[in-house]
Amino acid sequence: MHYFAFEGDFLETRDGLIFDVKGNLHPKDRKIAYLRYIPARFFDSNFQHAPKKEKKTIKNYIEQKYEISVSDIRFGQEVYIKLYDIPSRFKILSLFKPKYIFTSNLYDFPLQSVPNQDIQTIYAPEEYLLTTLQSPKDNTLRNLIDFLQTGGNIPLNHIGLSGSSMVGLDETNSDYDIVIYGEKECLSVHAFLELLFSQTHNLTSKNSRIHTYKSRALRKHYKTRAKGFPIKFKDFSFIERKKTHQFVIDGKDVFIRYSKFHRTNAVLPQFEDFSFKNLGRVSLNGIIVEDAQSIFTPGKYGIKIIEISKGDEKITGKFIEIFTLRGRFLEQGKNGDLVHVEGKLERKENLDTNEISQQIVIGTDPNDLMIQIKKSNAKFN
């Protein structure tokens, strides 16, 4: 088993649940990971090997009986229920596997995690990619990897393929969930794509057609990426058109996740080095003054606050950090952009240095928001 579990990894428990790993900080005895797929047999034993024609029936049954949102039904060696929104993941775990809901004295809010002894397999994207490339079946994937590797001038072992295909639950239209490892390699690939897409929005690479999101593809993208979050299409499209970590190749979506660390040489801070306290919901307008970490997962922004519409009594400074583990909030703005942010305010303490700061976490609540705006009427004093 791998010593590290990284953002982009999947892990499977001994009872068949599949989780996606969140972040790179984990307690010594467990991995922080959130439920992604749960076998349909947990809901009804008759669903375990149900035919694909029963997909809609299964989805409707589970959503109505358990009052959750089912993202999809996937058919592998058995039938799996795909969950995406965070409240649904917590509700299902509380009903079937509450031991995977983790409470720590370092956090005053629950997390999802899997104890090390319950982990059967950790799926590593870089290993899976090498195995997949040995098969000649997917020329589009091969062309995509060559495009990124050559354009970014990075070694192949700094690229991984994550997502549903890694656990045998992909479909024909499943996207390519790519992971780039290493800070230098990430910056190189990002610079290549940023320059390329500033010059053209359509190109051909080794007979594969590559284009950024536009028109109909952007509408489809909105339905999947913005699902469950209160962002209007006009705001979504304005931001998404500028992003370079996502595009389309031969009709298939590509999402690139940038990880500053590489599994073979990562020196990471420890989970036990920090404590967090939930201070409640806040809403504010501010100017992005630090965007250097906005492409990575986890992603961060430095914001200069100019107006607070909710939580004025809780926020202690004129500058604050925005933190996210969700890909939808990466590359959400650049230095100088005026943005509106709604999320959870946290008190963060470094237990090693005793440094105390505040951060706004976005992406864990359906009401979280970060959009660009044109003006703000009030000033923060």
Whether 254 shows a pLDDT value over 90: the answer reads yes
CA distance 265 to 31: 19
> How far, CA to CA in Å, does 160 sit from each of 104, 259, 329, 333?
31, 11, 21, 26
Whether 328 shows a pLDDT value over 90: the answer reads no
Q: Tell me, what's the pLDDT at 227?
A: 64
> How far, CA to CA in Å, does 204 sit from each of 147, 159, 191, 241?
10, 21, 19, 19
Q: Tell me, what's the pLDDT at 380?
A: 44
| pLDDT tens digits along 73-100 | 999 999 999 998 899 999 999 999 999 9
Phi, psi at 376, each rounded to 5°: -135, 135
Cβ neighbors of 276 (< 8 A, separation 6 or more) are 106, 107, 108, 109, 346, 347, 348, 349
Q: What is the mean pLDDT of residues 228-248?
A: 83
| pLDDT tens digits along 178-217 | 999 999 999 999 999 999 999 998 999 999 999 998 767 7
Q: pTM for the whole thing?
A: 0.92
Closest to 221 in 3D by CA, of 204, 241, 205, 201: 241
CA distance 274 to 262: 22
Domain boundaries, the chain: 10-123, 125-259, 271-372
Which residues are 18's β-sheet partners?
12, 37
Q: What is the mean pLDDT of residues 226-232?
A: 71
Confidence of residue 226 (pLDDT cuts 50, 70, 90): low
Confidence of residue 377 (pLDDT cuts 50, 70, 90): low
Whether 248 shows a pLDDT value over 90: the answer reads yes
Whether 131 shows a pLDDT value over 70: the answer reads yes
Confidence of residue 283 (pLDDT cuts 50, 70, 90): very high
Whether 233 shows a pLDDT value over 60: the answer reads yes
| pLDDT tens digits along 11-58 | 999 999 999 999 888 999 999 999 999 999 999 999 999 999 999 999
Cβ neighbors of 251 (< 8 A, separation 6 or more) are none
> What one-letter code names the amino acid at 198?
S
What is the pairing mode between strands 30-39 and 176-181? unpaired
Check residues 2 and 136 and name the one with the higher pLDDT: 136
8 Å CB contact between 67 and 88: no
On whether the 271-372 domain is CATH 2.40.50.140, my answer is yes
Check residues 221 and 280 and name the one with the higher pLDDT: 280
DSSP codes of every residue in 68-99: ----EEEESSSEEEE--SHHHHHHHHHHH-GG
Cβ neighbors of 214 (< 8 A, separation 6 or more) are 201, 241
User: Above pLDDT 70, what percent of the chain?
Assistant: 96
Whether 381 shows a pLDDT value over 70: the answer reads no
